[in-house]
Structures are given as C-alpha cells and as structure tokens.
A and B are shown apart, each in its own frame.
Chain A
Amino acid sequence: MNIKRLVSTAIVMCSAMVCVSVSAKEEPMFSSSGVFVQQEGENIYRALCQGCHMPNGEGAVGAGQYPALAENPKLGTPHYAIFMVSKGLGGMPAFSQMLTDEQIAEVVNFVRASFGNNHTDIITAKDVTPFSN
C-alpha cells in the first residue's frame, strides 16, 4: 500500500469531516451540463448520493427502501460498490454516463471510508474502467 496516498487520503478525510458542517452554509455546487461537475468524493456524495442514501448514509424506508451505506458489509471489497455505481441494479440507476471513472473511484473511496465504514484500500479510475464500459 502506498503510504503517501494513505496519509494524503487521511488528511482529505479529516478536512472533509470538518467540511461537513461548513458546507451546509456554503453555496451548493450545481452542475451545468449532463454530467456531474463535482470531483471530490464527498462533494459527489453530497450532490448525488445523499438524495437517496441520506446525509449520514443511513438510507431510508418508505413503500420501498434505500439501503444504508453506513456499516454496510457489502462495502468490504470495492467491487460491489463500483458495479452498483457504474451499472446500477434494481432501483439503483447506472451512473457511468454521468460520472467519469475517476469520479466513481472518488465517491466509492469516500463511502467505503465514511459512515462507520473503515476500509482503507483505495481504488483508482483504472479499477472502475472494466465495470463502466
């Protein structure tokens, strides 16, 4: 594992945690074309994912439900998440047309290291490409 990458990710996560309370007051980021403009994992989560999976990854229950991402065992390896975000399944739409492989990697890394998930293995765009094609 790349220690440098791990440390810089830890720094990003720490500042991301600080940002959670700040960003509520900041201007929300809106995209201006058919693709998402956000590049950082947390920003992608806040702009796109939390609409369904909710701000703390808690999911929601109505007539049907959105699964919780918080402490979700299916995030143990990255592949399930990469597949779900890229290709979708059931109620989960496919986002490979609206997110680049880099963005998908970013948000998967964010979710797998947030909401009580503590997975430290980082993926990159290269890991996403086989799924997004």
Chain B
Amino acid sequence: MIVHSMNRRQLLSWIGKTAGVSAMYQAMSSLGFAAESRPMSHLNFSGAPKGASVLILGAGLAGMAAAYELSQAGYKVKILEYNGRAGGRCWTLRGGDTFTELGGEKQTCEFSDGNYINPGPWRIPHDHHHVMEYCNKFGVALEPFCQLNYNAYLHSTQAFDGKPQRYRHVQADYQGYISEMLGKVVKQGALDDELTLEDRERLFESLRSFAALDENGAYKKSLETSMRRGFAIDPPGGLGPSTQYSEPLDRSALIQSELWEHIWKGQQLRHMSTIFQPVGGMDSIAKAFVQRVGQFIEYNAKVTHIDQSDTGVSATYTVNGEEKVASADWCVCTIPLSILGQIPMKVGTAMQMAIRAVPYDASIKIGLEFKRRFWEQDDTIYGGLSYTDLPISQISYPSSNFGSKGAGVLLGAYTYGPNAYEFTSLPPAQRIKQAVKYGAQIHPQYTEEFANGISVGWHRVPWTLGCYGMWTEETRKAHYENLCNIDGRIVLAGEHASYLPAWQEGALSSARDAIQRLHNEIVSTGA
C-alpha cells in the first residue's frame, strides 16, 4: 500500500510542476487516491457464538454491510442511525425530497418525475469489486456511466476567447501535434542514442497511425484527421453539400490554452470505461441493503456516548429528545470521524488520537433541472462531462433516458478546494444562481431553459460534517493502523478506515475486513 501512495505522490508532483497548483489539486481530488481495490474476499464466520450480539453505529453502506454479513452468520445485530433514512452518503435526491443543512436552510428538490441527482457517490468503477458484487448479489441493475464524451466541451476563460472547444478537437489535435513534433525529433536524429534504428522506424510508424499524420509525419487538415476530430461539413447522402475537412486548432493557441489538462481524466483507472451507475439513482444500493437489514435499524438516533467494559458495549443515544441506551457484546462503529471525534468513547489513547487526526474535505455538488435536454437537442452531447476553469469545474450530462422530451437534470457543479468552500458558504439560492451564471458561459441556453436546482455543500451536511476523511501520508503512517485495530470490543469501519477515501468501495471493503477481524477476535477470546 505504501508503494501505491508513493506513485501517487510522484505523479502529483509531476502534475504540480508541469501544470500548476490547480491542476495538481484537481488531480488530487479526482485521481481516486490510486489504491488498488482488491477482489472481494470470502468471509469465514464459522464458530460464531450462539446469541452473541453486535451493535452497529451508522446505517451507511459500511454499517449495513456489516449488519448483513454478521446477521447472516448468526449474530444478533442492531443498528443506530442518525438520519430518518438509511444509506448515509449513498444518497439520491428526487422531486419532493427535502434536505435541511447545517445553518437551517431547507431545500426542496423540484425535479420532475424520473429525474434525480446523486449528491454523493455517482460512479462505480469496474474494479470496485465489493460494490459490483453486492450489486450483482442483490440484483441492483447497473448501466454504463458516460464518463468520456468526445463531443462534450472543454472550456477556459483564458483561451480561445472563452469559447468552449469540443473535446474531440482538443484531444485529436493535441495528440496530432505532439506526435508530429516527436516524429520531427526522431527524424532530426535527436533520439539516435536512445533508440535503435528499428525502434525509430517503428516509432515513426506508430506516430503516423496514432495521430493520423501524413506520409511526411505532418498533422494537418485531411480526410484522416477529420475522421478523428470531425468534419467541417459532414459527408452527405445523395447530392447534399460536399464533404469539407476541418482545420486543426492553432498549435500555439492549443498549447497555451491548457485545455489538454483534461485529457488524462477519462483515462485514469477510476474513470476508465466501462464505468457504471445504478439505474435510477445510487440509493438503489442503499435500498437493497435496507431490504435485508432494515428491520435492525433504529432511526433518528443521535449517539452521544460510547462505552465498553470487559463484558460488553453500550451506546447512549437520543431519539426525539428521549435518552436511551443500546447494549451488545461487541460494536462496529461507522460514524464519520468528523463526528466521532466529538463523542466521548471509551477507547485507548491511540485510537482517540487517530480519530482526531483526520479532518474532512469540502466538496460541492449542484443539480440543475432544465426545461429540455438542450445539450442533446442543440449541442449533440449525450452523457459525459464538460470541463471548465470556472468555479463549477465540470458539467455532467445524464447517462440515461437519451432523447427524452421533457425536463432534464444535469450536474451543474462538482468541485473541491477553495471553490467548494466558497459555494458552501453561500446560501443555497445563491449557489444555484452562481452555477447557472457560470454554466451559461458554456451553454447560453442555460438562461432560457433553467427551471430549478438543488445543492449539497458537504460541510453543511448534518450527518457527515464534510465530504470524506482526508488522510495525509504522515497521518496514515502515524494513525491508520491504530484507527483500524480493534480496541477491546469496538472496531471502526467506513471509507475513513480504508485506502479508498470517498469511494463506496472503501466503505464496503473496510466493513468486511473489520467484521472478519472482529469475528476472529470473538472466537479466539471465547467470549
């Protein structure tokens, strides 16, 4: 695991040096923290003592997965959940849903029937084995999530007079020009010491194929390059207007634009196709778990104290102002560390310090509904993402119900860093207003077609106090194992107790690992 995080650091350092701080920050937030996701391990719960009970704190995916597996193994389980619903950050907002954020502002989602936004996790990489296997096991239907759309836009306020450029133009031309330049370098003999003659010849061939270069190695307007970047006038049927090839972007303008900084995003491990989303909303996964463990959940329970002794655990909690106590033999605690650090808990210093070593990151998501899918009807963009240097960072178009005639919802903003704090610090109505104002620079149709919006600034979410646990290399080294180790009768689980922060895969893999170790402990102590 250490090797992976060093690779990430090297990569980030290169990005930081070559593309600037903002690109590095983007990389940090969207890179997926480059930890390998492991295949789902087989759980062995043989020897579970009859009647042994486990109290689970939190009915997010980690808590519900723990409850599911433990109850299947014969343990008695009870779950305490702060919200009036299960799923935690596995959450979908639809028309009629309301959400009150810290500070008291209440938003009501006004989306039309069938439209939704996933304000938390929204994508399932193919190699997130735990998520994929539970979806498969529970019959949660998945569909492809369109991550990379060559016809979507790349936009910079500083380049091409602020005019959005098609991804396919930027990508094909960047690929074309760098290949052309490399071909020249090879021909000029600069790589004669690096490469054998055979390698140089083969490399030159590869560049021609890779970038549609002509026989002299030039990247220019032609049938071949138009077949990559698009035509100025598409080939007609019958006697329609003649085909016209398109002119590549000005090379210097392209290089200076920095729009090429978006190309790697669709290529990275956690975004590469095929990538999935549950049909109808991410909370399909939560609902599938609730079908199986819902009977164990007590809702609207705010945990205020966690205690343990040689013989058991107990959690004090309030439900509608009334104080109650839940007791059990063992405890799996999945409460986010941002909150857990404030709850008196009878565990050793090492775990206490670990819990308090992890702040939570800011993030903002804004869902916008428009009267029609203008991005499909006018811009021929079906799913995928447009990127921009505006504070909204990206616009994501829905990956399903293509061609539908009614209102459509897109993700109008999703970002981290200073802009996430700035959006979170605004009243909800102003967040929407800003997202519409910025998006209109890419899609002028925004102004006319905007219907309504809803936003989630994660630091204002009352049950997470932030988006995800932010570890550093130093804090991982000093605290991670202490966080994960069982303390007496209590074990922690959740995305914060994983090397896949902010991913559901982190939560699920963490829960399975925690309960296996807990079970092993239970059996070995004979308690």
Residues of chain A in range 32-49 having any CB-CB distance to chain B below 8 Å: 32-37, 46-49
Q: Within A75-121, which residues are at the interface with B (CB < 8 Å)?
A: 88-94, 98
Give the interface residue-count category, chain B: 35 or more
Interface 1/0 per residue, B15-44 and A, CB below 8 Å: 000001110110000000000000000000
Produce 1/0 per residue, A49-89, CB < 8 A to B.
Answer: 11110110000111111100000000000000000000011
B22 closest partner in A (C-beta): A33
Q: Which of B335, B360, B426 has most A Cβ within 10 Å?
A: B426
Task: Supply 25 A–B pairs (Cβ within 8 Å), ascending by A.
Answer: A31-B391, A33-B22, A34-B21, A36-B418, A48-B418, A48-B425, A52-B424, A52-B459, A52-B465, A54-B103, A60-B102, A62-B463, A63-B336, A63-B339, A63-B463, A65-B342, A66-B465, A90-B359, A91-B338, A91-B339, A91-B341, A91-B359, A93-B359, A93-B361, A94-B359
**Cβ-Cβ contact count across A and B, 8 Å cutoff:** 114
A89 lies within 8 A of B356 (CB): yes
> Among A35, A66, A92, which residue has its beta carbon within 8 angstroms of that of B418?
A35
* Alpha-carbon distance A31/B421, docked complex (angstroms): 10
Give the CA-CA distance A94 to B466 in the complex, in Å.
14
Q: A89 CA to B335 CA in the complex, in Å?
A: 18
> Within 8 Å of chain A (Cβ to Cβ): is B434?
yes
Residues 86-139 of B contacting A (Cβ, < 8 Å): 102-103
Using Cβ atoms and an 8 Å threshold, which residues of chain B touch A61? 102
Is residue B362 within 8 Å, beta carbon to beta carbon, of the partner chain? yes
Report which A residues bind B (CB closer than 8 A). Answer: 28-37, 46-52, 54-55, 60-66, 88-94, 98
B residues less than 8 Å from A98 (CB atoms)? 417-418
A34 touches B103 (CB 8 A): no
B389 CB–A CB distance under 8 Å: yes
> Given A51-B421, A98-B417, is A91 in contact with B391 using a C-beta cutoff of 8 Å?
no
Q: Contact between B82 and A63 (Cβ–Cβ < 8 Å)?
A: yes
Would you list the 8 A-B pairs with minimal beta carbon distance, nearest first? A62-B462, A64-B339, A51-B424, A60-B102, A51-B425, A93-B359, A34-B21, A31-B418
CB distance from B362 to the nearest CB of A (A): 7
SS class, residues of chain A in contact with chain B: loop
Interface of chain B residues 323 through 348 with chain A (CB within 8 A):
335-343
Q: Tell me whether B430 is interfacial, beta carbon within 8 Å.
A: yes
B470 at interface by CB-CB < 8 Å: yes
Query: Chain A residue with minimal CB distance to B472?
Result: A94
- Distance of A54 Cα from B457 Cα, bound (Å): 13
CB-CB contacts below 8 Å: B378-400 with A = 389, 391
* Residues in B neighbouring A94, C-beta threshold 8 A: 359
A32/B389 contact (C-beta < 8 A), A51-B457, A54-B103 known? yes
In the complex, what residue of chain A is closest to B16 when comparing beta carbons?
A34
Which residues 48-90 of B sit at the A interface, judged by CB distance below 8 A? 82
**Contact A66 B102, beta carbon cutoff 8 Å:** yes
Question: Roughly how many angstroms separate A82 CA and B322 CA in the complex, as a whole number?
Answer: 39
Q: CA–CA, A29 to B302, complex, Å?
A: 36
Query: In the assembled complex, how far is the CB of residue A37 from the closest CB belonging to chain B, in whole angstroms?
Result: 8
Task: Evaluate contact between B465 and A28: CB separation under 8 angstroms.
Answer: no
**Contacting residues, chain B, for A33 (C-beta < 8 A):** 20-22, 418
